[in-house]
Structure 1
Amino acid sequence: MSRSRKVTLRAHPHGPTPGWAEVDTPPPAPDSTAAAFFDVDNTMMQGASIYWFARGLAARNYFTTGDLIRFAWQQLRFRVLATERSGDMSQAREVALAFIEGWRVEDVQRLAEEIFDELMAPRIWAGTRRIAQRHLDAGERVWLVSAAPVEIGRVIAARLGLTGAMGTVAEVVDGSYTGRLVGDLMHGPAKAEAIIQLAAVEGLDLSRCTAYSDSANDLPMLSTVGRGVAINPDAVLLREARQRGWEVRDFRSGRRAVKIAVPSTAAAGLVAGAVTAGLALHRRRQRVS
């Protein structure tokens, strides 16, 4: 069906020409079958969201520097083993959300909002944010897809005006977290599966969708949609992107890129371990007092 155009007749600014036609072409109709999916850590945000969340908790005395050091090596060792044995995620499932066991949902929501405003908002990549906004301006839905707890993803999405977020889901009973997962960790192939399920529910055409990530771990997600884009890519993803002809965008530069990369790997793992242990200690101290 053809679209009408508004034609306005105005006096010509340079002479007595009877008139000239200015054609106001309407914006394209929103594409309800297209969407964009963004990884969070090092794609939408500098560093890892769980790292900054942990930093905010530490500032609120939920755990100490001693707790951080004590549990750092154990968490790092686990992450190395998990990477080498990517098929075995049982231990990862057990510890992923243990740190919020017994917490009230509203308390975690409040903390996530406070810590986003304090520590995460200044670390949103401006370039990635502009890309997301272009999708929104085109009438497309924009989703975050992260292995972090979905509560953190929802706060980031809400603060940035995005459609929503998919993330690792914690079981809730009577308004409190049990520390167990609902479903799988939102990691690797699980991200692709979540996008496929969302597309079925929302009526999306995956061939018209776009996905963005910095990590080769997200190759399943990037390959699920019609257009994959590497943002601040690691070495493996950069190589894959070049081979597949994907667009590459890098908002890092020089020494800053090196510094920002740390929280997404070892430091994020260390702090995540300290969050789990530190909050457990905090709860025990509360019970004792």
Structure 2
Amino acid sequence: MTRRIAFFDLDETLLVGKSMLGFWRHWSALLVREGRTPPVLRVTGADREALNRDYFAHFAGVPLARFEAAARRWYADHRRQRRAYLAESLDALERHRAAGHEIAVVSGSGAALVRPVAEDLGVRHVLATEQLTDARGILTGAVRRPLIGAAKAESVAALVERRGVRALDCFAYGDHSSDLPMLSSVGHPVVVGDDPVLRAHGAARGWATLGARACARARRGGVLAVN
């Protein structure tokens, strides 16, 4: 049997919405309950990598263990929503699992935010933005490198090499034009949703497409679709 890896972007490919913004709302509510005023989060006015670095800078001084615990609580809340996941992407993930393929999530979101999702979905590999800590396990506010654009493709290539598979045999799923380097690096790219740049690029090359219908999680291996 040919060995393959299926690479999935996270936000708006597997999950409805953006994990970092969802977690920020959760974290801000936590700060308010503690009597603190959440800082203002910049969401526009810079490129994606700069916004990514700015986001994680807000957590300087926070123990990683506290951040990870909050991330797990955020995801526990998210997974209970009726519109939490993308139905066609979850179905594709289950088809890959049934075929014996390895599965990876590749995301610019923080690794601590991605891991609870990966564990819940039975995903083996997490490729995500790594937050740096000091010797005491305190977040410095810096990241090793935002896993966005070309960085995603490089992480995919590195895992392909480590696992001894061929990129031409692998699959990748993404929803945004910034996923183009990753999608272009494998033999079976799939466009999720309706990003106009990504859709046009994929249509010109005959790439497969999936819709963005939302669903609730029923159980492992099944979803409940909602309109």
Scaled to the shorter chain, the TM-score interval is: 0.7 to 0.9
CA distance in 1: counterparts of 2:147 and 2:66, whole angstroms: 23
Aligned match of 2:94: 133
Aligned match of 2:45: 78
CA distance in 2: counterparts of 1:163 and 1:145, whole angstroms: 11
User: Unpaired segments of 5 or more residues in structure 2?
Assistant: 215-227
On the 8 A contact 1:216/1:236 being kept in 2, the answer is yes
User: Unpaired segments of 5 or more residues in structure 1?
Assistant: 1-28, 84-88, 254-289
Q: Deviation at 1:94?
A: 4.5
Structure 2 counterpart of 1:52, one-letter code: G
Q: Deviation at 1:245?
A: 0.1
Q: Deviation at 1:172?
A: 1.7
On the 8 A contact 2:87/2:213 being kept in 1, the answer is no
Does residue 111 in structure 1 map to residue 70 in structure 2? yes
Aligned match of 1:178: 140
CA distance in 1: counterparts of 2:24 and 2:160, whole angstroms: 32
Greater per-residue helix proportion = 1
CA distance in 1: counterparts of 2:133 and 2:28, whole angstroms: 24
Aligned match of 1:264: none
**Closer, same or farther: CA 235–110 of 1 in aligned 2, 3 Å:** same
Q: How does 1:19-58 map to 2 (within 5 A)?
A: 29=1, 31=2, 33-58=3-28
Structure 1 counterpart of 2:138, one-letter code: S
Q: Deviations over 1:223-267 (max 9, x none)?
A: 0000100011301111111101001111338xxxxxxxxxxxxxx
**Closer, same or farther: CA 228–63 of 1 in aligned 2, 3 Å:** farther
On the 8 A contact 1:99/1:179 being kept in 2, the answer is yes
SS at match of 1:60: helix
On the 8 A contact 1:49/1:120 being kept in 2, the answer is no
Q: Deviations over 1:88-126 (max 9, x none)?
A: x5x446424212212222211111111101024531222
CA distance in 1: counterparts of 2:163 and 2:71, whole angstroms: 27
On the 8 A contact 1:154/1:165 being kept in 2, the answer is yes
CA distance in 1: counterparts of 2:185 and 2:18, whole angstroms: 24
Q: Identity, % of aligned pairs?
A: 27
CA distance in 2: counterparts of 1:119 and 1:56, whole angstroms: 10
**TM-score normalised by structure 1 residue count:** 0.67
Q: Which moved more, 1:200-209 or 1:119-128?
A: 119-128
**TM-score normalised by structure 2 residue count:** 0.84
- How many residues of Structure 1 are paired with residues of Structure 2 in the alignment? 210
Does residue 212 in structure 1 map to residue 212 in structure 2? no
Greater per-residue strand proportion = 2
SS at match of 2:31: coil
